[in-house]
Structure 1
Amino acid sequence: MSKMKNALNARLEAKRADKIQNYIGSRLQDLEPLKPVLKAMGLSTVVSAIGDDIVVTFVNDETEATSVVALTFSRGKAAKGAEASWNHAQMITYVVQQTSFADNSWYYNDFGGAHELDCRGMSTPEIVDAIAAELVRNPVLRTDPTRESSNPHISKAFPIVSDIVSERMNTTIRAERGDNSVESLVFGDVSGRGFRLSFGDTSATLFLNDREIGQAPVGSRFEIGKLVADHFKAEPRPQWESRGLKAGERDEHGILSMGW
């Protein structure tokens, strides 16, 4: 029974893929002049069906890194016809700041909206030129769900924790995701003590050898810095007096300012 069900699902998926290809195929041919740009950037087109839209993204086949530029073709009631039309298409450029953190290469994507270009009334060469220009001047972002953070606070706290731990103890700081999806920074000291700083919805909780030893408001980098410094007995408590300095400047104690 399961084999028959799998075979049926495979046939349905194949029909669905053929239907999508028939709908979008002519527009993909319109994008042929983009090939030199895509090749230089290591990208190729990927077609997906999302709701009533067909979405074309530009993806690196090897790394799955993805451009922030995408095309959407509506299949809604207004977009009547057997194939996609540029008159019902948009080029979308997502505004994303990707921040890398932790010594095991995690990252966080901070989405800041999107810019949209309505392709209605534009000639095909104009559309292709606009897409090429957007691809070249915008980033291609890492895509790795196992190392993509969903917490907006952990990447902001990492430089402060690193300033206390890495520069003074020459130890690594790893990011981890627990079974409950809570993300943490994990590190140790020279005496073998294991620390875990976990970022919940409202609080950042510090654990020593899996025993809770303190909390701080998850959105306050200053309080998180104090929390770690207070319990990291191998080092003197940093003097957090750099809040009035610009990001990247150091105070008289050598403490790196994060531009608070």
Structure 2
Amino acid sequence: MNEHEIRTLLTKATEDRPAGIDLMPALPRRRLARVLVPLAALGAAATVAAVAVVLPATQSTAQAQVVAAVENTSQESYRIHTTAGEREFDGAFDPVRRVGVITRTDGTETRFVGDLVYVRESGETTWMVSPRSDAELEQAPPAVALVKLAPLDPQAALQRLRSATDVRESGTASGQGWTGKRFTFSLEATAGTDLKAGASVGATGVVDVDDQGRVRHLEVAFSDTGHPTVTDFSDFGTQVSVTAPPADQVQQPPAEKLGQPKAKPTS
């Protein structure tokens, strides 16, 4: 049965319908096809737009967050408490003014003033002065430098975190008056990294970053020992006043050790 025959039957069946109503108008097939194409395109565009709105912005990588925390911590003064085996250290640093002080539980004191470090051993009255940058540690791989620097110069140790690899966020962290994130990291072993034995030594660790993007807790240990050095950072913004010891109490090392050219003998 064709369209004409169907129309005839419908007309006879509904002869009392109101004028002007067509129960089966002709279908504009070509026009309909043309309309469906742009509608489909609009639907696809709307779907893409919806996805773009729902999907979250790309998050920073774990390593980038730790590096940013190192930078932020370098812009404020703070206090530290470090435990390394049976030794404990308390101190305060102002990275901007480049001063700091660390006191070991046995009474040994270390002062940082600019490019110089002054150390007075427990029970001594004389201070030894040396450059803040240790040439041996400057050339050491990051794993060795980080572990050794952690109790001696926490600010310098933080900078070694830039070299951390396999940094991963591992959950939340909290402490007195702060909350944040915990990250794990490793420092790759390199042949000859042990300064004494010449063995290959890597390091692993944990760093906690608070919600303001500052380092709050740092644990690091050589991979072969597992004995961590733990440093906690607190009291950000605290005032730190450190001065060099009196000159008559300082034992001066050779000039070349301080980075000055060795004096030429006079003829």
How high is the TM-score relative to the length of structure 2? 0.25
Larger radius of gyration: 2
Higher relative contact order (CA 8 A, sep 6+): 2
